[in-house]
Amino acid sequence: MQDTVENMENGICTLNGVVSAHVVLSLDGLEIEEVHVVATHDRLPKQIVRDIESLLLNNSGIKVDHKKISIAQVHINENKEEPGPAPDNSVETDQKFERIKFVSAKSNSYGLRWEISVELERGGIPSAATTNGAGSRQNKSRLVAQATAEAFNNFLDENQAVAIDEVQIIDGIRHKTIVVILTLLTARSEKVLVGSSILEDDQPRAVVFATLDAINRAMS
């Protein structure tokens, strides 16, 4: 390997629209197994993937299969002079389905376990769900995502549901990002979707927003 992971990640982060990057090497350290990138919606994912392929080939002499590069796109408000209102992370599915609004996310610890409660709202009608589990930091994020999915499922008919597959925290050069991967289940199909949200001070809130971002893709 002609270059370090840090240099490759720093190089990818200089590309237009890229927020953070995480490069995963093979066990022997000789090949790139995965490249996870969080980017804004300013550019198409295919354009960013091509730029990453070119950058790694030109700067590091490494040819990477585009299938190994994953792009998660987020909305970022760069104006931080004033706090302003909370971001609108509501979900609009179709004309018959009113917007989903985030109400609250609460967590309580009991010894080595967490209890997570998430409340959403649709057309003035609330839906809440509670999950319980072991108290590791990673599992807490997954419990929040599961509670969000279960609260959302209450608004769906019996032929649809969303299920959480993975919750990741990506440490970027400039930002930490929550990435949620979920599956939309219907009677005839399964569709995998990815949502993300920048992690600032409130991790449970960021997990809810990332989950709703994925759900928004499922219902759009």
Query: 119 and 199 share a domain?
Result: yes
pLDDT tens string 83-106: 344 445 444 444 445 668 899 999
Query: 113 and 168 share a domain?
Result: yes
Query: 209 and 165 share a domain?
Result: yes
Query: What is the pLDDT at residue 115?
Result: 94
Q: What is the 3-state secondary structure (H, E, C) of the chain?
A: CCCCHHHHHHHHHCCCCEEEEEEEECCCCCCEEEEEEEEECCCCHHHHHHHHHHHHHHHHCCCCCHHHEEEEEECCCCCCCCCCCCCCCCECCCCCCCCEEEEEEEEEEECCEEEEEEEEEECCEEEEEEEEEECCHHHHHHHHHHHHHHHHHCCCCCCEEEEEEEEEEEECCCCEEEEEEEEEEECCCEEEEEEEEEECCCHHHHHHHHHHHHHHHHHC
pTM value > 0.75 = no
Query: 26 and 126 share a domain?
Result: no
Last residue of a domain, one of 58, 74, 90: 74
Q: What is the average per-residue pLDDT within 194-204?
A: 86
Kindly state whether residue 172 falls inside one of the protein's structural domains.
yes
Domain residues for the domain of 17 are 5-74
pLDDT tens string 38-56: 888 888 889 999 999 999 9
